[in-house]
Amino acid sequence: MGPTSVSSPRPPGLPPAARWAFRTTIVGIAIYIVLDIVAQLLPPHYSPIRQAESDLGVGPYGWVMDINFVVRGVLSLAFVYGLYRAWPRTLGAPRVSLALIGAWGVGAFVLAVSPADVSGPATLHGTVHDVTAFLAFLLVTLGILGVSRAMPDVVPWRSIRPYAQAIGVLTAIALVVLFVGTGIPTVERHLFGLLERIFLGLALLWMLAVAIGLLRSESHPPERSTSPG
């Protein structure tokens, strides 16, 4: 008899809680982008190239950016929860790396209630903001690299891992460039906002890509292999 096509077993689907968490992440990122654009267009019209995103939280419409920080915190924690629930139980989730991403999410709530210092002498809330942002950026990068490296070599993680690792490396490079640029007065004065937004965009892109990849895996048909019949 000729070869027959045999379907390989479909991997277990995502738990319902994980699906809802990833959908929350995707919707949250969309809302975050919209609110960021709205805050940028409102007075006092800070420069997105020169000034930090946090400056949008200072001024008559600073509350828009404060809400956006909360949105970032919620979508990040939802993403961490979704990853934890979706991770194969037999392999064990990378809890430390997930906790680092969770810390970035919690840090966003702190940023919402501690406005940055746009000008004038340093304040306590401005210092808290700067320190929190520095730690949050560092921790989420380490978390992204850790989770990407720990992704198991099983379906559907096998197909997600290459681009997760690639975006993770780009995020780490963007962070190094941002931190180095902060130490160069000319770069900090003229390009800090751009460098920060590139980093933030890559970090959110990584979450978006992983969330979509895991959700899409459930809609793909099982792989077929050929065996003699």
Mind listing the pLDDT tens digit for each residue in 213-229? 999 987 654 444 444 44
The reply to whether the predicted model has a pTM over 0.75 is: yes
SS3 (DSSP) at 64: helix
What's residue 89's pLDDT? 87
DSSP 224: E
pLDDT (average), residues 168-180? 98
Q: How far apart are CA 159 and CA 190, in angstroms?
A: 39
Q: Which residue has the tokens 């130490």?
A: 183
According to the model, what pLDDT value does residue 163 have?
Answer: 96
Write down the pLDDT at residue 179.
Answer: 97
Determine the longest span between alpha carbons in the chain, in angstroms.
84
Residue 19 confidence (pLDDT) above 50: yes
When the pLDDT of each residue in the chain is averaged and rounded to a whole number, the result is: 91
* Residue spans per domain, the chain: 14-218
Contact 182, 40 (CB under 8 A): no
Residue 91: pLDDT band with limits 50, 70, 90: confident
pLDDT given at position 120? 82
Distances (CA, A) of 11 to 28, 30, 130, 189, 212: 28, 29, 44, 51, 17
Task: Please compute the mean of the pLDDT values over residues 159-185 and round it to a whole number.
Answer: 97
Can you tell me which residue has the tokens 């099983």?
Answer: 154
Q: Which of 51-60, 86-95, 99-108 has the lowest mean pLDDT?
A: 86-95
Average of per-residue pLDDT across 187-211: 97
pLDDT band at 115 (very low <50, low <70, confident <90, very high): very high
Q: What are the CA-CA distances from residue 5 to residues 115, 218, 220, 222, 227 (Å)? A: 61, 21, 17, 12, 6
So what's the pLDDT on residue 66?
98
Residue 110: band (very low, low, confident or very high) from pLDDT cuts 50, 70, 90: very high
Confidence (pLDDT) at 216: 92
Residue 217 has what pLDDT? 84
Residue 74 has pLDDT above 70, yes or no: yes
